[in-house]
Amino acid sequence: MNHFVRAALRAGIVLAFGLGAAQAGAQSTFTMSYKGGSTSACNSTKSISGAEPSAPGKYPVYVHIGGTGESYTGNWAKAAVNNAAANGFVAASIQYDNSSFGSCSTISQRAQCMFNPNNLNSAIAKLCSRAKAGLLQGHRHGRLEPRLDHLGDVAQL
């Protein structure tokens, strides 16, 4: 697929997400920080940009991870986060060292800094500590899914 076609498809998806989020329920935005990086020290301060439903309650957590060179606050990330929040998620985009792809060990270390639930400074620990983060839902690659907690396949954190 050539660059123009990919850019046009991406622009269309961003527009669709943006329109969907604009029509949905009220939401509030938030920013946080965590300790990330490409070494086992996980000692670089990184940012988290998110949104969550304004209504009281507990919601599943959605994390948007941008691709190589993609800004965690870019239009694509904002559209994904806003759409997820509009559909009942505590949603966030996480800044990480993504200027280059790196080796498998580098990628693994970045993931550890972001997703280690036993590290209170990791991105996932910070997100799950939010008052409205309370439902755990399985990963669904490639698209946003509506909440499925009414089916009983959701565990409390």
Model pLDDT for residues 39-61, shown as the tens digit of each residue: 778 888 999 999 999 999 999 99
| pLDDT tens across the length of the chain (157 residues) | 554 444 444 544 444 444 444 445 799 999 999 998 777 788 889 999 999 999 999 999 999 998 878 899 999 999 999 999 999 999 999 998 887 777 888 788 888 889 988 899 999 999 999 999 986 555 444 444 444 343 333 333 3
Name the residue range of residue 29's domain: 3-156
Rounded to the nearest 10 degrees, the angle between the axes of helix 75-86 and helix 3-23 is: 30
pTM of the model: 0.68
**Alpha-carbon distance values, 34 to 12, 106, 151 (Å):** 32, 18, 33
104 — phi, psi (to 5°)?
Answer: -60, -40
Number of structural domains (the chain) is 1
The rounded distance, in Å, linking the Cα atoms of 37 and 101 is: 13
> Measured at the alpha carbon of residue 77, what is the angle toward residues 96 and 139, in degrees to the nearest 5?
80
The rounded distance, in Å, linking the Cα atoms of 82 and 90 is: 10
